[in-house]
């Protein structure tokens, strides 16, 4: 489905996409705030599976993250917008310019769509210098204008000193900067980025992201940025679309989608290490909470109020970093869910400690090395586990995706609102052992609200 790891295929794309000598591909664009909108319907098939990419969209100027697992249809969506792949049906417009409309027999070539595209394999021409690579798509401009644009973009992305170098002599970060510069030098109306920073360390990513944000601030255009990285989602995205098998299952700001997911697939991709089944047994609208019974146990957990009825099945997700540990039973605290447990195992990840705690079921928790030393944590030690009510996210598998399939995904036009929230640094697999949970047994079921030992 994707040409990941296939440089030859990427170069073929690049040759098709930026044919020099075509005036329409290099027409000046000053960042007029034009919205990219339309719909894409496309069958995606492979030896292992087949599904339809089925997305309605409206992307204003700014950075929209396209997030999802491999094979979700992210690259297919970008290729359809770029004109490298023709949708089975739908329409694609940039402002009032029609890129694709089969009813009107319109299907512009990639070179005529005013789109910049950075591929996963970058597609730099190895026999050309940095300057020649950047000038490839603007070859028919007058020499003074071609030189002006080239010099400006070389300075903007801090690669002027490498102008006469070949790609083989560049570092990974420098190659990414050249690819971005080449995509932007033609002043496109849309920029498509397919995992352009994969394989780079965090420091280099941060610097390139800063340059990209500054460039888009002065020349605002719709930018679609495909990534698997949660850190990039929070550092770059003003808005995010989450895809699964060609469908939008969540959309909104990174904070809303990644920190408070409503769909299980999103929770897994967002790094919620603890996910388990439960049944709603009661609600309290006055307090804004409800009580869930964890499947297969008599254990109860207070969670935020949702539009659920008693007896309804839900999934509950909880980040390891949102669980607190105490060395002794806490008193007079605001945390509503408090229960005892024993440390099963400890594992260090750089400057973070993962503690697995058995409270009748297993919880993964994250704490700093200093906190672990302060608590004298060791396997077999007794601890108290504390969970805030609003740290629990309720998931309804499949329901949100169905609701979203029938409506256009519209991204609000909010520019220069780059999020700076950093998610949990670990992405641990969700264990089947996390399908149950025990809380304190002292529960008042008549009032449908938990009574905790700590309150």
The per-residue pLDDT for 151 is: 93
* DSSP secondary structure, 110-136, as one string: GGGS-EEEE-TT----TTS-HHHHHHG
Measured CA to CA, the distance from residue 424 to residue 185 in angstroms comes to 36
pLDDT band at 423 (very low <50, low <70, confident <90, very high): very low
pLDDT at 403 over 70: no
For strand 222-227 and strand 62-67, is the pairing parallel, antiparallel, or unpaired? parallel
**300-309 residue pLDDT tens:** 789 888 888 8
Using DSSP's 3-state secondary structure scheme, residue 93 falls into strand
Measured CA to CA, the distance from residue 452 to residue 24 in angstroms comes to 68
User: With pLDDT > 90 as the criterion, what percentage of the chain qualifies?
Assistant: 30
The per-residue pLDDT for 397 is: 47
**238-256 residue pLDDT tens:** 788 888 888 888 888 777 7
Q: Are 347 and 340 spatial neighbours (Cβ–Cβ below 8 Å)?
A: no
**5-22 residue pLDDT tens:** 455 455 455 555 555 444
The per-residue pLDDT for 104 is: 95
The per-residue pLDDT for 49 is: 79
The per-residue pLDDT for 405 is: 32
- What's the chain's average pLDDT? 77
As a whole number, mean pLDDT of residues 90-110 equals 94
The per-residue pLDDT for 134 is: 93
pLDDT band at 454 (very low <50, low <70, confident <90, very high): very low
The per-residue pLDDT for 20 is: 47
Whole-model pTM over 0.85: no
Q: Nearest CA to 192 among 80, 101, 85, 97?
A: 80
Cβ neighbours for 211, distance < 8 A, ≥ 6 positions apart: 156, 157, 158, 177, 180
pLDDT at 274 over 50: yes
**338-388 residue pLDDT tens:** 888 899 999 988 788 999 998 877 888 899 999 998 999 999 999 998 988
Domains along the chain with CATH numbers: 7-228 (3.40.50.300), 271-395+424-450 (2.40.50.100)
pLDDT at 187 over 80: yes
pLDDT band at 323 (very low <50, low <70, confident <90, very high): confident
**53-63 residue pLDDT tens:** 999 999 999 88
**Residue 47, class by beta-carbon neighbours within 10 Å (0-12 exposed, 13-18 middle, 19+ buried)?**
exposed
The values of phi and psi at residue 218, to 5°, are: -85, -25
**79-89 residue pLDDT tens:** 999 999 999 99
Q: Worst-scoring range by mean pLDDT, 1-5, 100-104, 141-145, 389-393?
A: 1-5
């Amino acid at each position: 489905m994707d040409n990941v790891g296939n440089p030859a295929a990427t170069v073929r794309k690049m040759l098709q996409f930026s044919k020099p000598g075509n005036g329409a591909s290099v027409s000046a664009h000053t960042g007029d705030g034009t919205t990219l909108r339309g719909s894409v319907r496309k069958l995606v098939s492979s030896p292992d599976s087949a599904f339809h990419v089925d997305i309605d969209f409206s992307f204003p100027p700014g950075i929209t993250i396209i997030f999802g697992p491999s094979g979700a249809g992210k690259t297919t969506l970008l290729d359809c917008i770029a004109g490298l792949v023709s949708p089975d049906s739908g329409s694609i417009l940039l402002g009032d310019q029609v890129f694709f409309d089969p009813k009107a027999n319109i299907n512009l070539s990639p070179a005529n769509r005013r789109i910049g595209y950075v591929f996963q394999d970058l597609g730099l021409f190895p026999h050309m210098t940095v300057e020649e690579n950047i000038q490839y798509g603007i070859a028919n401009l007058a020499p003074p204008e071609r030189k002006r644009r080239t010099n400006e973009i070389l300075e903007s992305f801090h690669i002027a000193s490498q102008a006469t170098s070949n790609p083989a002599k560049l570092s990974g970060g420098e190659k990414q900067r050249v690819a971005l510069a080449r995509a932007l030098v033609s002043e496109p109306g849309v920029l498509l980025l397919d995992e352009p920073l994969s394989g780079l360390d965090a420091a280099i990513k941060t610097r390139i992201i800063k340059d990209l944000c500054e460039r888009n601030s002065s020349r605002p255009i719709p930018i679609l940025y495909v990534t698997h990285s949660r850190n990039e989602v929070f550092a770059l995205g003003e808005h995010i679309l989450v895809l699964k098998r060609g469908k939008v299952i969540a959309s909104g700001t990174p904070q809303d989608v990644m920190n408070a997911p409503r769909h299980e697939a999103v929770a897994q991709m967002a790094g919620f290490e603890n996910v388990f089944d439960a049944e709603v047994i009661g609600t309290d609208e006055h307090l804004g909470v409800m009580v869930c019974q964890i499947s297969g146990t008599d254990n109860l957990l207070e969670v935020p109020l949702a539009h659920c009825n008693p007896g309804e099945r839900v999934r509950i997700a909880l980040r390891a970093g949102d669980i607190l540990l105490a060395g002794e039973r806490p008193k007079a605290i605001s945390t509503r869910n408090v229960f005892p447990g024993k440390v099963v195992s400890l594992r260090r990840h750089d400057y973070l400690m993962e503690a697995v705690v058995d409270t009748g079921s297993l919880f993964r928790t994250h704490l700093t090395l200093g906190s672990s030393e302060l608590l004298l944590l060791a396997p077999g030690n007794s601890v108290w586990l504390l969970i805030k009510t609003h740290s629990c996210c309720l998931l309804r598998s499949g329901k949100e995706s169905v609701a979203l399939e029938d409506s256009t995904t519209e991204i609000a036009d909010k520019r220069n609102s780059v999020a700076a929230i950093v998610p949990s640094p670990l992405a641990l697999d969700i264990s089947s052992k996390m399908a149950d949970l025990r809380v304190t047994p002292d529960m008042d079921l008549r009032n449908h609200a938990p009574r905790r030992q700590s309150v």
